[in-house]
Amino acid sequence: MKLWGGRFSKNTALEAEDFNASISVDSRLYFHDIEGSKAHAIMLGKCGIIDTDEAAKIINALEEIRLELESGSANLNNDAEDIHMNIEKLLIEKIGETGKKLHTARSRNDQVALDLRMYLRDEIHKILELLTELEVLLLDKSKEHIGTVMPGYTHMQKAQPVTLGHHFMAYFEMFKRDMGRFKDCLKRMNVMPLGSCALAGTTYPIDRKMVADILRFSDISQNSIDAVSDRDFAIEFIGCCTLGMMHLSRFCEELIIWNTGEFGYIEMDDAYSTGSSIMPQKKNPDIAELIRGKTGRVYGDLFNLLTIMKGLPLSYNKDLQEDKEPVFDAGDTMKSCISVFIPMLAAMTVNKENILNNLKGGFLNATDLADYLVNKGLPFRDAHAAAGEMVKYCIANNKELIQLSMDEFRSFSCLIEDEVYEFLKPEVCLSRRDTEGGPSDQRVKEAILHGREFINHFAETINK
Ligand code: ARG
- Per residue in 63-78, pLDDT tens? 999 999 999 999 999 9
Same domain for 438 and 379, yes or no, is yes
| Average pLDDT estimate for 11-37 | 95
Residue tagged active-site, from 71, 155, 277, 457:
155
- Selection from 8-22, 36-50, 281-295 with the highest mean pLDDT: 36-50
Least confident piece of the model among 57-61, 120-124, 317-321, 427-431: 427-431
pLDDT above 90: residue 193: yes
pLDDT for 141 beyond 60: yes
Q: Report pLDDT for 106.
A: 98
Binding site membership of 318 for ligand 1 (Cβ less than 6 Å): yes
Would the pLDDT of 218 be above 80?
yes
- 311 CA from centroid of ligand 1 (Å): 18
For residues 34-60, give the mean pLDDT: 98
Percent of the chain with pLDDT over 70: 100
Cβ(82) – ligand 1 distance below 6 Å: yes
**CATH number of the domain residue 336 falls in:** 1.20.200.10
Residue 384 known to be catalytic:
no
| Residue to substitute in 88, 321, 323, 328 for testing ligand 1 pocket (most ligand atoms within 8 angstroms of CB) | 321
Tell me the pLDDT of the chain averaged across its residues: 96
Q: What percent of the chain has pLDDT over 90?
A: 94
Which of 357, 378, 413 is the last residue in one of the domains? 357
Q: Residue 150 contacts by C-beta under 8 Å, 6 or more apart in sequence?
A: 161, 162, 163, 164, 167, 265, 355, 358, 359
User: Which domain CATH number covers 83?
Assistant: 1.10.275.10
- pLDDT digits over 338-363, tens only? 999 999 999 999 999 999 999 998 99
**What long-range pairs does 90-99 form, CB within 8 A, spacing at least 24?**
90/65, 91/58, 91/61, 91/62, 91/65, 94/61, 94/64, 94/65, 95/57, 95/58, 95/61, 98/54, 98/57, 98/58, 99/58, 99/61
pLDDT for residue 463: 65
Q: Assess whether 328 and 179 both reside in one domain.
A: yes
Cβ(169)–Cβ(381) under 8 Å? no
Q: Are 233 and 286 part of one and the same domain?
A: yes
Per-residue pLDDT reduced to its tens digit, 239-289: 999 999 999 999 999 999 999 999 999 999 999 998 888 788 878 999 999
pLDDT at 146: 97
Mark whether 328 and 376 lie in a shared domain.
no
Give the mean model confidence (pLDDT) for residues 177-181. Answer: 98
Specify if 173 maps to a domain: yes
Residue 181 CB coordination number (10 Å) = 17
Q: How many domains does the chain have?
A: 3
Same domain for 353 and 275, yes or no, is yes
Q: Are residues 81 and 189 in the same domain?
A: no
Distance CA 262, CA 161 (A): 19
Residues 6 or more apart whose Cβ sits within 8 Å of residue 1: none
Instruction: Say whether both 304 and 408 belong to one domain.
Output: no
Coil vs helix vs strand at 176: helix
Q: The domain spanning residue 449 has which CATH number?
A: 1.10.40.30
Q: Is the pLDDT of residue 175 over 70?
A: yes
Q: Is residue 339 part of a domain?
A: yes
Q: Could you tell me if 105 and 195 are in contact, meaning their C-beta atoms sit under 8 angstroms apart?
A: yes
Same domain, 381 and 267: no
In a domain, 214, yes or no: no
Is the model's pLDDT at 462 over the cut of 60? yes
Establish if 206 belongs to a structural domain: no
The average pLDDT across 32-37 equals 98
pLDDT at 464 over 80: no
316 lines ligand 1 (CB under 6 A): yes
Ligand 1 in reach of 329 Cβ (< 6 A) = no
Residue 374 Cα, ligand 1 centroid: separation in angstroms? Answer: 69
Q: Within a domain: residue 204? A: no
Residue 22 lies in a domain: yes
From 22, 79, 108, 199, the mutation candidate for ligand 1 (largest count of ligand atoms within 8 A of CB) is 108
- Asked if residue 301 and residue 182 are part of one domain, the reply reads yes
Same-domain check for residues 125 and 229 = yes
Q: Which atom of ligand 1 is nearest to the CA of 316?
A: 10
Mean pLDDT of 449-462: 94
**Is this prediction's pTM over 0.85?**
yes
Rounded Cα distance, 142 and 175, in Å: 14
pLDDT of residue 182: 98
Is residue 155 part of the annotated active site? The answer reads: yes
Residue 88 CA to ligand 1 centre (angstroms): 14
Task: Give, for 162, the enclosing helix (H) or strand (E).
Answer: strand 157-163
**Do residue 331 and residue 397 come from a single domain?**
no
Residues 6+ apart with CB under 8 A from 456: none
Domain-embedded: residue 405: yes
Asked whether residue 310 falls in the same domain as residue 422, the answer is: no
State the residue range of the domain holding 64: 5-104
Per the domain annotation, does 217 fall within a domain?
no
Choice from 4, 22, 30, 82 to test ligand 1 binding pocket (greatest atom count within 8 A of CB): 82
Ligand 1 atom 11: the closest Cα is on which residue?
318
Ligand 1 atom 10: residue of nearest CA:
109
- Residue closest by Cα to atom 4 of ligand 1: 321
Q: Is 108 in the pocket of ligand 1 (CB under 6 A)?
A: yes
